[in-house]
Structure 1
Amino acid sequence: MKLLAPFAAAALALAAATPAMAQQSAPAAALPATPPRLIVVISVDQFSADLFAEYRAQFGSGFARLMTGAVFPAGYQSHAATETCPGHSTILSGDHPSRTGIIANDWTDFAAPRADKRVYCAEDESVSGTDSEHYTVSDKHLKVPTLGEWMKAVDPQSRVVSVAGKDRAAVMMGGHKVDELWWWDGKAFVSYAGRAAPEAVTRINAATSARIAEAQPALNLPGFCQARSRAIPLGGNKTVGDGRFARAAGDAKAFRASPELDDAVLALGAKLATDMKLGQQGHTDLLILGASATDYVGHSYGTEGSEMCLQLLSLDQTLGQLFEALDRTGVDYQVVLTADHGGHDLPERHREHAAPTEQRIAADVTSGAIGRALAAKLGLAGAVLAGGPGGDVYVSPAVPQAKRAAVLAEAVKLYAANPQVQAVFTRAQIEATPVAHTPPETWSLLERARASYDPQRSGDLVVALKPRVTPILDPVGGYVATHGSFWDYDRRVPILFWRKGMVGFEQPLSVETVDIAPTLAALIKVPVPVEIDGRCLDLDAGPGDSCK
């Protein structure tokens, strides 16, 4: 089954130009005795545990290989702020957002040195002339070191390469000391200002530009996807659910929300890995890949139509091509694949699929609506609240100090009385809550909020919407589905480890994404230099212990 035109195959063939090296036969032990020379970390944005369960029997290439390793189908992004930036910050730091400082994709900072007080998680807001939509990418807000930094502390010649479809994915997983950092900016792969593009970037950018310039015909629809292909009306003339990624020539936005984006990301990662001879120069190296298209597809079309079906089956094939390219180098590499968060399908399709209580958020739950009600009741002028509708909500500094307590108390009452709100927590409640160390599925909502809380960046209130409330008021003009809730459909993600020669197993009990970094560190004999939230997972299927 061939889903895509041969862009990925051609690009990955470029990456595989390094002559093949002889591979050693697999040892008999449950886990190879020597450390791997290359760590490959793949984050599939919005790849929920639910999607993994739905599609795992259909995978036949890349995912099929990973499923012969250590499979943890019940991984958790344990915190409440199940968004892209916080999730990626946990994967290679070993820390929850409460330590990483990345509490959300953006937050409100009334002290920000510009009129726009919203701060994007991966920007430097002090740069003159920028705002949260037109920003300078930076790692300054990430408060903790990552695996790549741990590796470089032990061996400065270890190299870290991070490539992603989003800047925040590349930055949060790559950390503060990267050798190559590249992300898709909507038109090309770019990096920090002043960084020279290696030949790999130049070639993949040229190939990608040529691909976007060509029209993309509709993809063939495999039989498994045909049953999922049904148009769902959303109002006006907008429907989703039966798309096949046909694209007009030059439509870069449609390219981004399609399997073609992941093709380009993985092709660039493979090309950099082979050009730089990662894992081939006597040092352990780290290749980080952020596959972002699943998230764009989920937001644009939902998770249960033909679009997601084609996306995941295409990604499976592209992962297989990536692994074949790495195999040809002869490098002993360890792979881990996970996700930054889960995702939730659009309410309109859910209601047709036996979930009649699914709903979109109402206008009266927004911070603007709640703030106007507060202003009227308390005799205040101007904006009272910022942020929301779910998650962090901030009281404006324009509110007189003498009235702040009354504003908070009344806001709690208004949110708690709203039929779409499950709970509302104050700073005092969250700060009084101990950090949870129990299995993540047992955490209370307050404990989940605690894992996302940073006293310098979090809101004065944190609002949990009820389950199955989609915080998109109108799907006609933009995204149709999303994530970001306290609930397990957004928290649960798969975690898959694979290495040639390892004996595979499946562990259905919960683990956390913060466990990934210490697990990889143990495999390559790198000590964890700081206190972290995660623990090492034993990947030895036998009596041995890969954590020792």
Structure 2
Amino acid sequence: MKYLKYSIILALISFKGFSQNSNQFSSQDDIYVKPKLVVGVVVDQMRYDYLTRFYTKYGDGGFKRLMNEGFNCKNNHFNYIPTKTAPGHASIYTGTTPKGHGIIGNDWYDKTTKSSVYCAGDDSVNAVGTTSDAGKMSPHRMLTTTFSDENRLFTQNQGKTIGISIKDRGAILPAGHTANAAYWFHGKDEGVFISSTYYQQELPKWVERFNASKTVKSYLKDWNTLYNIKTYTESGDDLNDFEHGFDGKETATFPYDLKRLSKTNDGFDILKTTPYGNSIVTDFAMEAIEGEDLGKDDITDVLTVSYSSTDYVGHNFGVNSKEVQDTYLRLDKELERFLKYLDKTVGEGQYTLFLTADHGAVEVPAYLESQHIPAGYFNKKEFKTQLNEFMSSTFGASDLIENISNNQIFLDRAKLKAMKLDLSMVQDKIVKELEGYNYIYKVYAASTLVHQAFTSGIEELLENGYNQKRSGDILYEFEPGVTSSGKKGSAHSTGLNYDTHVPLLFFGKGVKHGSTLQKTRIIDIAPTISGLLGISFPNGATGQPLEFVLK
């Protein structure tokens, strides 16, 4: 009898607990999180080690705040080739690789039109805010949705999406197809943010007010180091042989008189290659939050912010430069300013933010050589000459190649057919030929990537970057430390760690505090945010939600 009573009591306790858990898990608040605003921050060309190399010089309110109060994925990588700006931004927000979203480069050879196309170029729209063709842009070449698109669909277009960047592609691709607007910076003699008729017929009043203000012009001033240059012990000598610098200045050394140098460096465009380009983006992003009433109600809005000046500075001065270090120390201050603004206007704990990069960068190969590390420069002109000679001697024609770009070779299939040459045979012979060329590390025929499934190494990354309709017939990769760009400044595009390993920080509502060395992929970001919001994953997403990041 006592046993029966005890069993009944246990059953009641268990049922009560189950009921409480059932109610808990059935409550809408626990099924998904509804931040008032999701902010995606992409830092163009940010290597992961910029977080750690400059850590002791950062303040407490920028990168350190994100790392210490948010979740730090320390082993985050791109899982495809090429690691460039447009594919990077598209992959972050779509949750898939170029194989799925179709943005296979910043520009690429179009096999249908037989011409080069730009990732965001669109002649069917007109510029808004300028008479320049710099405004003839849209996301129409991106084949899949972004998580910002899915949020728009989920909220019946009540949740807004605004994209902002110095670069057009850095604003347009993250914001997706359904964005309310995307704005990018047009320098030259104007120094304004512009858009296109894809989004609207005229600029909103708040954008016109910003453009009419003296904000941008105020940054045409001296660029000197934020702190005493002697304390910049995490970077190389200011005067060295590995930097381009600016026209009109004999050496690439601090300080830089930007007002004077702007006259010989395309006017306001000079600001892109300084930390002040990032400051302009922060200024404009805060105006966008105010002007568009972002994060002011319970329907989630999305703001995408891409800091592009870090990329321009990296290409100009190189990974190990004093200029790169100063740019990141100043960006740290910009992030602190931005986070404080979000705390004040949206509310601390009411927004969710992630920070990542669209790719990393290689140390200047000439610098690596000076440190006895294998590196070099691939001569594209000599490569084309050598390859054409091979085509003539092997197939009796030197005009069988339509285009070489983005480390891809496009064959003239009509001519191959007319000459009764088998496509696979030609591809295979070219692969065997290129295997012997200097600085070429890996080379594959498109047919190999179509018919085989790779699960590791460079081969997997090439396959993930290969789009069957848009990519070339032959794909090749350089040896570590090798680029085909100029002999000064840094470059990127490979599947090696210096290009693939980038930061990934989650912060704010619904995010745990912590870190992991578990490998994560750039394509996991969009499903993670989608899972947080309880919305559909982007329609082509192949990444997986990082469940350990979320509360």
TM-score category by the smaller chain?
A: 0.7 to 0.9
**After the TM superposition, which residues 321-332 of structure 1 pair with which residues of structure 2 at under 5 Å, given as runs?**
321-331=337-347, 332=350
**Cα pair 1:89 1:173 within 8 Å, conserved:** yes
Match of 1:50 in 2: 49
**Cα shift at 1:419:** 2.2
Match of 2:193 in 1: 189
AA partner of residue 497 (structure 1)? F
**Cα pair 1:84 1:340 within 8 Å, conserved:** yes
Q: 2:458 aligns with which of 436, 445, 453?
A: 445
Matched, 1:259 2:275: yes
SS in 1 for 2:117: strand
How many aligned residue pairs are there? 492
Structure 2 alignment gaps of length 5 or more? 1-29, 127-132
AA partner of residue 254 (structure 1)? I
**After the TM superposition, which residues 171-250 of structure 1 pair with which residues of structure 2 at under 5 Å, given as runs?**
171-186=172-187, 187-193=191-197, 195-205=201-211, 206-211=213-218, 214-222=220-228, 223-225=230-232, 228-233=236-241, 242-249=253-260, 250=262
**Cα shift at 1:341:** 0.6
More helix by share: 2
**Cα pair 2:95 2:525 within 8 Å, conserved:** yes
AA partner of residue 257 (structure 1)? T
The answer to which of 482-491 and 273-282 deviates more is: 273-282
Structure 1 residues 117 and 329, CA, compared in 2 at 3 Å: closer, same or farther?
Answer: same
**Cα pair 1:106 1:118 within 8 Å, conserved:** yes
Matched, 1:339 2:350: no
Structure 1 residues 456 and 498, CA, compared in 2 at 3 Å: closer, same or farther?
Answer: same
**Cα shift at 1:538:** 2.1
Structure 1 residues 281 and 309, CA, compared in 2 at 3 Å: closer, same or farther?
Answer: same
Match of 1:370 in 2: 387
SS in 1 for 2:259: coil
Q: 2:311 aligns with which of 295, 298, 315?
A: 295
Match of 1:15 in 2: none
**Cα pair 1:86 1:104 within 8 Å, conserved:** yes
**Cα pair 2:245 2:317 within 8 Å, conserved:** no
**Cα pair 1:164 1:290 within 8 Å, conserved:** yes
TM-score by structure 2 length?
0.82
Partner deviation per Cα, 1:394-438 (whole Å, 9 max, x = no partner): 1134633223645433322231111200111111110123264xx
**Cα pair 1:72 1:494 within 8 Å, conserved:** yes
Partner deviation per Cα, 1:246-280 (whole Å, 9 max, x = no partner): 42344323211111111111211111112222111
SS in 2 for 1:281: coil
AA partner of residue 354 (structure 2)? V
**Cα shift at 1:101:** 0.7
Structure 1 residues 337 and 236, CA, compared in 2 at 3 Å: closer, same or farther?
Answer: closer
Structure 1 residues 58 and 361, CA, compared in 2 at 3 Å: closer, same or farther?
Answer: same
AA partner of residue 84 (structure 1)? T
**Cα pair 1:363 1:369 within 8 Å, conserved:** no
Q: 1:119 aligns with which of 114, 117, 120?
A: 117
CA distance in 2, matches of 1:410, 1:340: 35
CA distance in 2, matches of 1:236, 1:146: 37
Structure 1 residues 394 and 243, CA, compared in 2 at 3 Å: closer, same or farther?
Answer: farther
Matched, 1:463 2:476: yes
Partner deviation per Cα, 1:364-395 (whole Å, 9 max, x = no partner): 6644542344235433144724123x632211
**Cα shift at 1:355:** 4.0
CA distance in 2, matches of 1:517, 1:34: 15
CA distance in 2, matches of 1:236, 1:296: 11
**Cα pair 1:368 1:385 within 8 Å, conserved:** no
Match of 2:145 in 1: 145
Structure 1 alignment gaps of length 5 or more? 1-30, 437-442
**Cα shift at 1:37:** 1.2
**Cα pair 1:139 1:171 within 8 Å, conserved:** yes
CA distance in 2, matches of 1:32, 1:494: 28
TM-score by structure 1 length?
0.83
Structure 1 residues 207 and 74, CA, compared in 2 at 3 Å: closer, same or farther?
Answer: farther
**Cα pair 1:72 1:508 within 8 Å, conserved:** yes
**Cα pair 1:240 1:301 within 8 Å, conserved:** no
**After the TM superposition, which residues 372-391 of structure 1 pair with which residues of structure 2 at under 5 Å, given as runs?**
372-382=389-399, 384-388=401-405, 391=407
**Cα pair 1:343 1:489 within 8 Å, conserved:** yes
**Cα pair 2:90 2:103 within 8 Å, conserved:** yes
Partner deviation per Cα, 1:46-94 (whole Å, 9 max, x = no partner): 0011322322332213111111210012111110110111111111111
Matched, 1:419 2:426: no
Structure 1 residues 399 and 375, CA, compared in 2 at 3 Å: closer, same or farther?
Answer: farther
AA partner of residue 217 (structure 2)? A
SS in 2 for 1:75: strand
Match of 2:530 in 1: 521
Q: 1:530 aligns with which of 509, 526, 539?
A: 539
Name the larger-Rg structure: 2
